[in-house]
Amino acid sequence: MSDAGVLGIRRATDADWPALWAIMEPVVRVGETYCWDTCLSEAQARTEWLAPADRTMCVFVAEETPGPGSVGAAVGAVVGTAQLHANRAGGGSHVANASFMVAGNAGGRGVGRLLARHVLAEAREQGYRAMQFNAVVETNTRAVRLWQSLGFRTLATAPGAFRHPAEGFVGLHIMFREL
């Protein structure tokens, strides 16, 4: 991510998939933060992230466009992605759920926070009354701190509910905030 770049959020399109998969694949393979099979295929990942069967699903990308002082490619680079959808159907459909991924080489630059603020605003606009994260790995402290700073509280931690490849059995936080 160039210092001169300008970060923006827009809806994802099918054309973004290769860039999204480049961000997702390392996250999937290492298996430290998401409850996904580490051998998930690209096709499965695409269905999982873009979820065409879920009519409530919105997918966003964080894109860096070259700033006025920057030199080089004029095309934006996708540096993060988020999905927003109803956490449950029917009587539970007024609570949103969201997931986030940031490119490994773009960490620590506020991409996750920008995506999260956008998704929270979008969820409010869509009429959701709350947002719930069902499975935040407790060792993913960067994510936990980000959600706390954005008003989420940990309702509970399911003990040992995640088998971390390095840390062994660790808890999964259920995090929640009203909108």
Site for its own copies in 115-154 (CB under 8 A): 129-130, 132, 134-135, 137
User: Segment contacting its own copies (CB under 8 A): 7-15, 73-81, 88-96, 117-125?
Assistant: 88-96
Looking at the Cβ atoms of 11 and 163, the one nearer to its own copies is 163
Closest distance to its own copies from the beta carbon of 73 (Å): 35
Nearest CA-CA partner of 112 in 93, 130, 98, 95: 98
Residues 58/98, Cβ–Cβ less than 8 Å: no
For residue 88, state whether it binds its own copies (rule: CB under 8 A): yes
72: left (phi over 0), alpha (psi -120 to 50) or beta: left
101: tokens are 């991924």
Residues 84/123, Cβ–Cβ less than 8 Å: yes
Going by their DSSP bridges, the two strands 95-102 and 77-86 should be labelled as antiparallel
Q: Which one among 18, 69, 91, 108 touches its own copies, defined by CB under 8 A?
A: 91
Q: Which one among 23, 95, 103, 106 touches its own copies, defined by CB under 8 A?
A: 95
Residue with tokens 């700033």: 67
User: Segment contacting its own copies (CB under 8 A): 7-15, 56-64, 69-77, 160-168?
Assistant: 160-168
Closest distance to its own copies from the beta carbon of 75 (Å): 33
CA-CA distance, 116 to 83, in Å (whole number)?
10
Site for its own copies in 19-58 (CB under 8 A): 31-32, 34-38, 40
**For residue 162, how far is the Cα from the chain centroid?**
18
User: Segment contacting its own copies (CB under 8 A): 2-10, 76-84, 102-110, 157-165?
Assistant: 157-165
Q: What angle do CA 151, 80, 175 make, to 5 degrees?
A: 25
CA-CA distance, 25 to 130, in Å (whole number)?
30
For residue 72, state whether it binds its own copies (rule: CB under 8 A): no
Using CB under 8 A as the criterion, which residues of the chain lie in contact with its own copies when the complex forms? 31-32, 34-38, 40, 87-95, 129-130, 132, 134-135, 137, 155-165, 172, 174, 176
